[in-house]
């Protein structure tokens, strides 16, 4: 087994003169995992996250980052803070420079990156969060979602291995929150280990590989989301509610309308199971194909060609670079978050759909659709588009 | 009392049409204007400066006329009030106008009128030049300039943090104020005093908390005493320099030539 990204060993912490906020915390995060730290208000989530980059020092126990124990001298802390990027809950507290450029450049400058490289690091980070061109704006002229993106860019500019987010979607509107979560997925796909805290069970259930449940400063459980959120006793102890999808599933199972199985992972999965239990089945038409386009191939030609075949074509876009390309081409997408699952649903409804994305995410789309086809037994086809070519099938 | 929505001059400065013009050029024009306007010995030059810079601010920088007029009115009304006093307390020259009251005689003389006129024009010219800077030059552009003027780094870093904190704290203050207004906080004078004191005390505590958050935010990003400055990427256009220098020369000549006063 490889070295864990973060490891907490028997960690306890108390703010001076108060009872323990964290009691003997022991768990570890796999490298490249995406983990949600879930718990009610005041459970100690933020305190625990502040341990990860040495902002708070445990009263007893240790924090191990990438195999090395954190030591609390100034030099080691700087190295830890470069490797572990922290995005605070309140973006206003995190953005302190008068302009976006200066704020993003702050980290790289202080870890001693040369002047030429700083400009590049800032440009790349702002591009990665979809805010290229915002350099000279003051933070108080940005919306909540944009501030959050700048805060993320400021951390990305130091090229961290681990990203820590404290309540990344609180105070964002639902679409803004979903887009931030998509951005997190994109970063995770690039190999960053992500740990976020939340009390949004829906978000944690859909997004995380692993869930750490914390209440009253203690870890109640650490495991895959389905096992934790299905445990009503755990949910009650942690002051949380079951995600809607799971509640529905449990209800249907309890009424013996549905066979107990692995809990459904998302809406396409659930829709599939309901289809299976429909008496006599339903008239099954072949689903519409999911078209796939790499922005590197040019967007205008293929989209126009496809639109002449399917006037009601739905366009979904994944990833910051693809979103930007589409914006430049003045094409308005229908779906900008939760794109793969939404597209599968569209395909099942026989609505032709096109996913536009770049590079490595192409494979992710294929893998997810293939996975759905295998578990559901409905064969969905993914058609990669190229200029003057709309027929290749996988 | 109603809740407040906040707009700042700096917001307009960040969006004006001359945003991309080089900061040094704008400061040269504005500061040159102020200097000439307040040191002029005849009213022609300050009025010329007021006219030209108002034109530039409204038509070139595309600042809304109503806003500009309202801003100019504030100092202008102060100046007008002082000028009326000056008109009647200064002596010399020929009597222009006399008001005889049973116990007192008010008299305005030609010298007093000229003096009042020059004070008024200086005030308006200076204000127009100051407003030009305030409405076209965002504060964020000034920090880089301060550095090139060899102002110590610590001073600039602090002022950058202060600048950012102002807006965060105003946001907090407005939020508290609105919360108070929504619960009739300022409905009576006594209630208003109490509400305002509560606003001040909770703002102090929040400012303190913000300070602590700032500290950990900087620490989390490896603060090591370095703060990036916004690089000025604008090119200086020769035409601009030429026009500004021409303008300042004309204004300067008008200001210091021994021109006669306008006939009254």
B166-181 tens-digit pLDDT? 888 888 898 888 888 8
For residue B94, the SS3 value is: coil
Mean pLDDT of B57-65: 90
A252 in a structural domain: no
What's the pLDDT tens digit per position in A50-68? 999 888 899 999 999 988 8
Residue A47: per-residue pLDDT = 92
Number of folded domains that form chain A = 2
pLDDT interval class at A167 (50, 70, 90) = very high
What's the pLDDT tens digit per position in B222-239? 888 778 777 666 677 888
Three-class secondary structure assignment of chain A: CCCCCEEEEEEEECCCCCCCCEEEEEEEECCCCEEEEECCCCCCHHHHHHHHCCCCCCCEEEEEECCEECCCCHHHHHHHHHHEEEECCCHHHHCCCCCHHHHHHHHHHHCCCCHHHHHHHHHHHHHHCCCCCCCCCCHHHCCHHHHHHHHHHHHHCCCCCEEEEECCCCCCCHHHHHHHHHHHHHHHHCCCEEEEEECCHHHHHHHCCEEEEEECCEEEEEECHHHHHCCHHHHHHCCCCCCHHHHHHHHHHHCCCCCCCCCCCCHHHHHHHHHHHCCCCCCCCCCCCEEEEEHHHCCHHHHHHHHHHCCCCEEEECCHHHHHHHHHCCCCCCECCCHHHHHHHHHHCCCCEEEEECCCHHHHHHHHHHHHHHHHCCCCCEEEEECCECCCCC
Which ipTM score applies to this complex? 0.71
A309, A343, A373, A383, B261 from A386: Cα distances, Å: 15, 19, 24, 10, 80
Same structural domain for residues A199 and A300? no
Is the pLDDT at B87 greater than 80, yes or no? yes
pLDDT interval class at A390 (50, 70, 90) = very low
What's the pLDDT tens digit per position in B121-167? 999 999 999 999 999 988 888 888 888 888 888 888 888 888 888 88
CB contact under 8 A, B217 and A155: no
Same structural domain for residues A15 and A164? yes
Mean predicted lDDT score pLDDT of chain A: 87
Same structural domain for residues A315 and A184? no
A360 in a structural domain: yes
Residue A393: per-residue pLDDT = 44
A321 in a structural domain: yes
Burial A212-224 (b: 16+ CB within 10 A, else e): bbbbbbbbbbbee
Residue A197: per-residue pLDDT = 94
Is the pLDDT at A98 greater than 90, yes or no? no
A144 in a structural domain: yes
pLDDT interval class at A392 (50, 70, 90) = very low
Domain boundary among A244, A278, A308: A244
Give the DSSP letter of residue B262.
P
Give helix then strand counts, H and E, for chain B. 9, 2
Residue pair A187/A195 in contact by the 8 Å Cβ criterion: no
CATH number at residue A300: 3.40.50
Mean pLDDT of A299-323: 85
CB atoms under 10 Å from CB of A338, counted, come to 19
A81 in a structural domain: yes
Residue of B141, B188, B172 lying closest to B14 (CA atoms): B141
Q: In angstroms, what separates the C-alpha of B226 from chain A's closest C-alpha?
A: 6
Is the pLDDT at A246 greater than 80, yes or no? yes
Same structural domain for residues A90 and A222? yes
What's the pLDDT tens digit per position in A173-199? 888 888 888 889 888 988 899 999 998
Residue A391: per-residue pLDDT = 46
Q: Which residue of B has its CA nearest to A115?
A: B228
Q: Does A99 touch chain B (CB under 8 A)?
A: yes
pLDDT interval class at B111 (50, 70, 90) = confident
Distance CA A369, CA A357 (A): 15
Distance CA B9, CA A326 (A): 35
pLDDT interval class at A307 (50, 70, 90) = confident
A334: domain range?
A: 290-385
Q: Which of A307-311, B99-103, B112-116 has the lowest mean pLDDT?
A: B99-103
CATH number at residue A132: 3.40.50.300
Q: Which residues of A touch B147 (CB under 8 A)?
A: none
Question: Least CB-CB distance to B221: which of A98, A110, A141?
Answer: A110
Same structural domain for residues A80 and A189? yes
Residue A284: per-residue pLDDT = 66
Domain boundary among A182, A212, A244: A244
A102 in a structural domain: yes
Residue pair A87/A152 in contact by the 8 Å Cβ criterion: yes
Distance CA B21, CA A389 (A): 48
Same structural domain for residues A321 and A235? no
Residue B6: per-residue pLDDT = 54
Residue A394: per-residue pLDDT = 43
Same structural domain for residues A184 and A102? yes
Mean pLDDT of A367-383: 84
Q: Does A271 touch chain B (CB under 8 A)?
A: no
A301 in a structural domain: yes
Residue of A12, A5, A2 lying closest to A219 (CA atoms): A12
Question: Can you name the residues that pair with A291 across neighbouring β-strands?
Answer: A354, A383
Please list, in sequence order, all residues whose beta carbon lies within 8 angstroms of the beta carbon of residue B116, skipping any fewer than 6 positions away.
B83, B84, B86, B87, B90
Same structural domain for residues A12 and A89? yes
Residue B35: per-residue pLDDT = 93
Tokens of A3: 């070295």
Residue of A222, A272, A279, A219 lying closest to A245 (CA atoms): A272
Higher-confidence position of A167 and A381 = A167
Is the pLDDT at B91 greater than 80, yes or no? no
Q: In angstroms, what separates the C-alpha of A198 from chain B's closest C-alpha?
A: 20
Q: Which of A68-72, A368-372, B9-13, B50-54 has the lowest mean pLDDT?
A: B9-13
A345, B118, B166 from B89: Cα distances, Å: 85, 15, 43
Same structural domain for residues A156 and A98? yes
* CB interface of A with B, residues 106-125, below 8 Å: 106-107, 109-112, 118
pLDDT interval class at B3 (50, 70, 90) = very low
Question: Least CB-CB distance to B230: which of A81, A102, A110?
Answer: A102
Domain boundary among A244, A271, A302: A244
End-to-end CA distance of chain B: 47
Q: In angstroms, what separates the C-alpha of A53 from chain B's closest C-alpha?
A: 7
Distance CA A185, CA A214 (A): 23
Domain ranges of chain B: 1-137+235-264, 145-233
Mean pLDDT of A149-173: 91
Is the pLDDT at A84 greater than 50, yes or no? yes
DSSP H or E stretch at residue B97? strand B95-101
Distance CA A164, CA A172 (A): 18
Is the pLDDT at A10 greater than 70, yes or no? yes
For residue B40, the SS3 value is: coil
Neighbour-count burial of A191, counting CB atoms closer than 10 A to its CB (0-12 exposed, 13-18 middle, 19+ buried)? exposed
Same structural domain for residues A227 and A111? yes
Q: Does A96 touch chain B (CB under 8 A)?
A: yes
Distance CA A2, CA A65 (A): 13
Residue B1: per-residue pLDDT = 43
Mean pLDDT of B70-76: 89
Tokens of A79: 């190295």
Residue B233: per-residue pLDDT = 61
A281 in a structural domain: no
pLDDT interval class at A285 (50, 70, 90) = confident
What's the pLDDT tens digit per position in A200-232? 888 889 889 999 999 999 999 999 998 899 888
Same structural domain for residues A90 and A216? yes
A204, A225, A263 from A233: Cα distances, Å: 18, 15, 17
Mean predicted lDDT score pLDDT of chain B: 85
Distance CA B45, CA B121 (A): 9
CB contact under 8 A, B160 and A97: yes
Mutate which: A54, A140, A157, vs B, most B CBs within 10 A: A140
What's the pLDDT tens digit per position in A334-347? 888 888 888 888 88
């Amino acid at each position: 087994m490889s070295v864990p990204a973060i490891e907490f060993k028997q960690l306890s912490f108390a703010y001076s003169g108060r009872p323990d906020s964290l009691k003997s915390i022991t768990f570890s995060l796999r490298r490249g995992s995406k983990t949600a730290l879930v718990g009610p208000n005041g459970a100690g989530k933020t305190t625990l996250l502040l341990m990860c980059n040495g902002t708070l020092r445990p009263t007893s126990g240790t924090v191990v980052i990438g195999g090395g124990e954190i030591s609390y001298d100034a030099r080691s802390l700087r190295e830890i803070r470069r490797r572990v990027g922290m995005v605070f809950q309140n973006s206003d507290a995190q953005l302190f420079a008068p302009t976006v450029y200066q704020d993003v450049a702050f980290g790289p400058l202080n870890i001693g990156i040369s002047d030429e490289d700083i400009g590049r690091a800032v440009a790349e980070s702002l591009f990665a969060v979809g805010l290229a061109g915002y350099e000279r704006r003051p933070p108080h002229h940005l919306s909540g979602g944009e501030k959050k993106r700048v805060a993320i860019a400021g951390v990305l500019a130091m090229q961290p291995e681990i990203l820590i987010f404290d309540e990344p979607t609180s105070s964002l509107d639902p679409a803004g929150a979903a887009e931030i979560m998509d951005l997190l997925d994109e970063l995770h796909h690039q190999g960053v280990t992500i740990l976020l805290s939340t009390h949004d069970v829906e978000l944690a259930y859909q997004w995380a590989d692993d869930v750490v449940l914390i209440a009253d400063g203690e870890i109640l459980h650490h495991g895959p989301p389905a096992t934790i959120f299905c445990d009503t006793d755990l949910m009650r102890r942690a002051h949380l509610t079951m995600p809607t999808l799971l509640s529905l599933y449990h209800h249907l199972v309890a009424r013996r309308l549905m066979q107990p199985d692995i809990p459904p992972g998302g809406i396409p999965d659930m829709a599939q199971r309901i289809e299976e239990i429909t008496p006599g089945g339903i008239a099954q038409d072949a689903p519409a194909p999911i078209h796939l386009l790499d922005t590197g191939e040019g967007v205008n030609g293929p989209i126009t060609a496809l639109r002449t075949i399917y006037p009601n074509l739905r366009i979904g876009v994944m990833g910051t670079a693809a979103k930007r390309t589409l914006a430049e081409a003045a094409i308005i997408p229908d779906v900008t978050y939760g794109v793969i699952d939404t597209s599968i649903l569209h395909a099942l409804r026989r609505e032709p759909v096109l996913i536009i994305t770049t590079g490595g995410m192409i494979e992710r789309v294929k893998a997810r659709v293939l996975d759905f086809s295998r578990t559901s037994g409905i064969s969905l086809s993914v058609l990669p588009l190229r200029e003057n070519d709309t027929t290749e099938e996988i | 009392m109603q809740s407040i929505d906040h707009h700042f001059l700096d917001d307009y400065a960040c969006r004006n049409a001359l945003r991309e013009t080089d900061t040094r050029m704008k400061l040269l024009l504005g500061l040159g204007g102020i200097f000439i306007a307040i040191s002029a010995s005849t009213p022609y030059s300050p009025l010329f400066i007021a006219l030209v810079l108002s034109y530039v601010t409204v038509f070139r920088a595309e600042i809304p006329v109503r806003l500009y007029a309202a801003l100019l009115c504030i100092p202008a009304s102060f100046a007008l009030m002082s000028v009326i006093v000056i008109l009647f307390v200064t002596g010399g020259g020929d009597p222009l106008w006399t008001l005889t009251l049973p116990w007192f005689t008010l008299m305005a003389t030609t010298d007093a009128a000229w003096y009042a006129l020059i004070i008024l024009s200086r005030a308006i010219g200076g204000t127009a030049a100051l407003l030009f800077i305030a409405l076209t030059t965002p504060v964020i552009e000034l920090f880089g300039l301060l550095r090139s003027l060899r102002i110590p780094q610590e001073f600039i870093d602090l002022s950058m943090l202060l600048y950012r904190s102002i807006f965060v704290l105003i946001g907090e203050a407005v939020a508290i104020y609105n919360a108070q207004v929504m619960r009739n906080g300022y409905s009576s004078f006594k209630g208003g005093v109490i509400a305002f004191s509560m606003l001040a005390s909770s703002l102090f505590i929040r400012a303190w908390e913000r300070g602590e958050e700032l500290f950990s935010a900087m620490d989390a990003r490896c603060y090591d005493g370095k703060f990036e400055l916004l690089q000025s990427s604008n090119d200086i256009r020769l035409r601009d320099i030429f026009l500004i220098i021409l303008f300042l020369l004309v204004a300067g000549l008008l200001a210091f030539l021994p021109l006669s006063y306008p006939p009254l």
